[in-house]
């Protein structure tokens, strides 16, 4: 069933890595709900239906991230010179997060290229960028209220 589940997810998500994750997640779910799967009159249909729900969930998550994503340029990070690496913004994130942000917003890498550079899936990279930018915005907003920040 793996090839069918993978193809099903790939067509709907247009993303090979995410389709692989969805197909694998369906089998994890099947393992967790093994008694329900065994009682089903159509176990293959059960797996396809589970894949459909997983695809729907992934699409909703992707849409929610896209709605909340704000360009990092709003924080003026893209204008930072390379020597700013040890500056105030760098103090707000880990070395890996800084590497990812610089790659995408300062060096012009696409998210897909940055994902390969950091050895992670496209969706994981996109989510990490989103979370990092969100946390950075919140921390900088808090600092601005409490004092001055040189961005």
Write out pLDDT tens, residues 99-140. 888 888 777 788 888 888 888 888 888 898 888 888 878 877
Same domain membership, residue 130 and residue 80: yes
In a domain, 97, yes or no: yes
- To the question of pTM greater than 0.85 for the whole model, the response is no
Domain boundary among 68, 101, 122: 68
In a domain, 151, yes or no: no
Which pairs count as long-range contacts for 17-22, CB under 8 Å and 24+ apart, including other chains? 17/121, 17/122, 17/123, 18/58, 18/121, 18/122, 18/123, 21/121, 21/123, 22/51, 22/54, 22/55, 22/58
Domain boundary among 50, 68, 86: 68
Segments in the chain below pLDDT 50: 76-81, 83-86, 148-151
């Amino acid at each position: 069933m793996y090839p069918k589940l993978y193809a099903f997810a790939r067509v709907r998500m247009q993303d090979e890595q995410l389709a692989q994750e969805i197909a694998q997640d369906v089998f994890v779910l099947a393992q967790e709900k093994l008694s329900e799967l065994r009682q089903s009159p159509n176990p293959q249909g059960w797996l396809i239906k589970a894949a459909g729900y997983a695809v729907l969930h992934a699409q909703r998550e992707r849409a929610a991230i896209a709605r909340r994503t704000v360009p990092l340029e709003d924080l003026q990070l893209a204008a930072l010179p390379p020597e700013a690496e040890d500056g105030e913004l760098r103090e707000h994130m880990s070395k890996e997060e800084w590497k990812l942000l610089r790659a995408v917003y300062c060096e012009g890498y696409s998210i897909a290229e940055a994902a390969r550079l950091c050895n992670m899936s496209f969706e994981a990279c996109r989510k990490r960028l989103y979370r990092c930018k969100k946390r950075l915005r919140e921390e900088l907003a808090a600092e601005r209220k409490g004092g001055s920040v040189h961005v």
